[in-house]
Amino acid sequence: MKIAVVGATGLVGEALLRVLEERRIPASSVSAFGSRARNGGASFKGKRLDVQPTNAEALQGFDAIFFAGGDEPSAQIVPKVAKNGCVVIDNSAAFRLDPNLSLIVPEVNAAAVRPSQKIFPVGNCTAIIMSVALGPITKAAGLRRLHAATYQAVSGAGRAALEEFEAAERAACSSADDPNPKAFAAPIARNVVPQIGQINEHGYSVEEAKIQAELRKILSLPELESAVMAVRVPVRFAHSAAIFFETERATSRAELAAALKNAAGVVFHEDGIVTPREVEGKDDVHVARLRAEDDPGKHFAMWMCGDQVRKGAATNGVQILELLIERGIVKR
């Protein structure tokens, strides 16, 4: 099986190469692509890979291609590559809400895979992580409504955003002036910024609207009532969320705790807390502080954390490939 990674020098592209190696995907070759050629610009299994410039012609002949290079390149190139029979797993937002394409989070909705589908979008990082935590609850007692505040790491905005944050931290420690914010709506060091993306006429940011729409699709709950406030926080990796939800039927904290304990991809903390720094570099979603507002009843709250570069992007993409291999849609 020949695999290509587009955007191999970005945070997600680097993580994709790392996860492909860690999970021992049976590839006969792995090739790296980017916006321009770079000799030895990527690394896989301890060896340097030359990065080739991305275009549809150069991407012919691969069995599976991961795209992690942004919305516009994906929109232009992915359909051309998929038309030739290659499976494309795309980390951009270009195809996530296409009604003809399943939005797969393997722990949650593996049954939604369509054998004829060639383009597999990878969901918004926060929506993926939240869906892993909400999936077991939905299965156990249904999900009617949720309100959530997300606390999103700076690396979710890419390498340049992470570097801006680190520069701002250095400036704060030396009492220097803040660098002008480019990746964020306000300075991020020693601060929180309650805006991720432009805010629409209804008062929702781009990120908030993505989370709402994609959760409905992943969980197969098109009528799910939700409200989300997305906040950027001075954390390097791993997103967190405080989620307040209403189930369809009356249940108990004990039943929901049991569902979370037994769920694939979830680490449930019966006692204590979990923080984003603890889950950096991990693939599981961690859930803590599950509580009942009425027990037995329908109203509950919980806290969750997950590494958005791994489970929220790279690992979820590789898990989709594993699922396609298992079902014979992609041949070894």
Residues in Cβ contact with 253 at an 8 Å cutoff, skipping those fewer than 6 apart: 290, 291, 292, 295, 300
- What's the token pair of residue 107? 């722990």
Catalytic residue (choose from 239, 269, 299, 305): 239
239 is catalytic: yes
- Element of type H or E holding 323: helix 315-326
86 is catalytic: no
CA dihedral 312, 240, 224, 206 (to 10 degrees): -70
CA distance 87 to 324: 9
The CA distances from residue 49 to 14, 40, 65, 90, 265, in Å, are 11, 5, 16, 21, 31
Other C-beta atoms closer than 10 Å to the C-beta of 71 total 14
Per DSSP bridges, beta strands 2-6 and 64-67 are parallel
Q: Which of 311, 309, 289 is nearest to 300 (CA)?
A: 289
Burial of 177 (0-12, 13-18, 19+ CB in 10 A): exposed
CA distance 157 to 140: 34
CA distance 78 to 94: 10
Describe the chain by its helix, strand, coil percentages, rounded to 5: 35, 25, 40
Cβ atoms of residues 207 and 126 within 8 Å: yes
DSSP letter for 279, please: H
Catalytic residue (choose from 125, 147, 173, 286): 125
First-residue to last-residue Cα distance in the chain: 5
Q: Which residues are catalytic?
A: 125, 239
